[in-house]
Amino acid sequence: MRPSLDSLDDDTLLGVFSALTVPDLLNLRQTCRRLLVFSRQQIVWQNIASSQILQWGIPFSKKPISSFSVRDLEDRVRRAYHLGNAWKAPSIIFRASGFAASRGGPVQGIHFIPGYDRRWFVTVSQGIWSMITLWDRGTLTQVTSWSPKKAVFSALAVNTSEDSEAALAVSLYQFDSAVIEILAITSTAPDSSPHFECIARFKTLRRPIAMRGSLLALADDEAETVIWNWKTQEYAVMQSPVDAGLRRNQCTQVVFAYKTILVVRARSVHAFAEPQLAPHPNTCTHHPYAKSTFGWVDGIFVAVPPSSPEDPSGMKGQQLSILVRTKSDDPWSSTFKIQLWTLSPMIASNDTAVDRPHYDFPPSMTTEIITPRRGALRCTDMVLGPYGTAVWVQPGDYSIAGLISSNVHLQPMPVPQSHDTLVAAAFPGLLNAQSEPQVKSSWKNYGENWTCLDYDEERGCVALGSNVGAVTILDI
């Protein structure tokens, strides 16, 4: 008599479950009660997360898989499995939803919040005074808002550490004073609504650019970047070389890599050895050990890939990816390029290589996408995920719409409309087995103009803000 599946011992059954795909496991659990109960064990989903998600290079949380509850781990694995299949398919399909985030005014910024179980995102809008609004990602309803009296925001940085008490750093002008406030999202009671709470405040003219845990990167629009620990009050000053002829060299991104901090400015990337922070007065000024420039560009975004299975702690340094959107000085140019560059860690011949902070400059270009461009680029945001997927906005085509505004009443005929398009692409890697980048989706905007975007690669979600205060959410 052949043994039935539900009569197998637990160890054998665990081996069977570990070899199943996620859809097969979900089907098998419906056959009998024992298999249903067994499929809800922590070890089952840990094995699947390790063998079918992490090893396949599918976007997943940086937290240890053992830190999740069984229900949360199953939900994350099922979502990741779906996301991996979607990116590996010839094209992806977005599920769209939207709502009005502000009354008439534009959405100036939109940001996903990595912590707090990734259930929230924020929008920045301007009415009489500036306002930050927290939204629920599932229901698209307002959770809370924060608008200090007579304050105008100049910049905002989101904390990339999921377990930090601080969520945001906001620079604002209030009562003729420039300050930065560190905000947490807290609740006074388990069943009460969350709200923003200021947990630190200090005066400075520099803008917050990036935040990781208790470290905050501040920068001016010329050459200076400060790494400040808002808990210990220790800091370090990093000075980039001044580019001749460039009056305003705005800092757009600061990246905390292993033993290195990359400062991304308008046309260049500067690499600094990780500085030692010290209390005031800290008179030491740090200078970059390397620099690279990409010429006239519309945007640069640097991504740190996930740690490899051979180096889970990332102690040997990781190859960085740099996404660049070129900008031609030819006003009649009908195309622009999206280029992917790689920056590799320097390899030494001895065992002390893991302690070297340097990256091998200059970066090398690995691939590019040539795409049409015939209009003004209102939303210059673009995001490259750690796993090699990216999103950006392609402007409308002025050759279709012409140069006459639809609001002009002198012409008797209607003016053709041209629309922005969201482009989603996968660059060569585990999610794209091809040798060339693959454009997976082009979502056209048939209403207002987009002003800002953010992308959560782990969730497969894009958020876009518009000039009329609307928000569009696109889920894979």
pLDDT by residue, tens only, the chain of 476 residues? 566 776 777 888 888 888 889 999 999 888 888 888 888 999 999 999 999 999 899 999 988 898 999 999 999 999 999 999 999 999 999 999 999 998 878 999 999 999 888 899 999 998 788 999 999 999 999 999 999 988 899 999 999 998 899 999 999 998 888 999 999 999 877 777 899 999 999 999 999 999 999 999 999 988 999 999 999 999 999 999 887 666 677 899 999 998 899 999 887 899 999 999 999 999 899 999 999 998 878 889 999 988 765 555 555 567 899 999 987 666 566 678 899 999 998 865 454 444 455 899 999 999 999 887 666 778 889 999 999 999 999 887 655 555 555 555 555 555 556 678 899 999 998 899 888 999 998 888 777 789 999 999 999 999 999 999 999 999 99
* CA torsion angle 457 458 460 466 (round to 10): -60
pLDDT at residue 268, as a whole number: 86
pLDDT of residue 213: 95
Comparing CA positions, the residue from 210, 200, 116 lying closest to residue 157 is 210
What pTM was computed for the model?
0.89
Contact 421, 443 (CB under 8 A): yes
pLDDT at site 355 = 44
Q: Looking at residue 6, what is its pLDDT?
A: 67
pLDDT of amino acid 112: 96
b/e map 24-37, b = 16+ CB within 10 Å: ebeebbeeeeebee
Cα torsion 368, 371, 376, 377 to 10°: value is: -40
pLDDT for res 299: 87
The Cα 85–Cα 363 span in angstroms is 31
- Which tokens go with 230? 């808002």
- The confidence score (pLDDT) of residue 337 equals 87
Pairwise CA distance, residues 323 & 340, whole Å: 5
pLDDT of residue 294: 87
What is the fold, at CATH topology level, of the domain defined by 5-88? Monooxygenase (1.20.1280)
